[in-house]
Amino acid sequence: MKKLNIGLVGYGFIGRAHSNAYLTVSQFFDLKYQPVLKAVAARDPEKTKQFAHKWGYQSHYADWKQLVADPSVDVIDIATPNDTHAEIAIARRPSWENDLMRQAAGA
């Protein structure tokens, strides 16, 4: 099974719900990918560290821009207030386009 490295931005209710979903999804569905809790980012460094430890994330950042720039993260899960989604998604866009082009070319 291929690993899918998850990067989560935000550790509030939605961050907890999504983390739980990643940990349990294989109990409900047959998957081609295994979600791996790779990194989490949020504003408060200590709370982010605690969240990462509690849920099993491999690393943590106090700035979402560091997570978005992490080449080992395959998917960015944006679990922040709605008005922050666009900035985070747009910041990751250039690498998404490159990833999609490589996949389309069969690389």
- pLDDT tens digits, one per residue of 27-55: 999 999 999 999 999 999 999 999 999 99
Q: Is 37 helix (H, G, I), strand (E, B) or coil?
A: strand
Q: Which of 10-14, 36-40, 51-55, 101-105 has the lowest mean pLDDT?
A: 101-105
Dump pLDDT digits (tens) for 55-77. Answer: 999 999 999 999 999 999 998 99
**4 in the Ramachandran plot: left (φ > 0), alpha (ψ -120 to 50) or beta?**
beta
* Residue whose tokens read 């899960």: 77
- Report yes or no: 76 and 67 within 8 Å, Cβ to Cβ: yes
SS3 65: helix
Contacts of 103 (CB under 8 A, 6+ apart): none
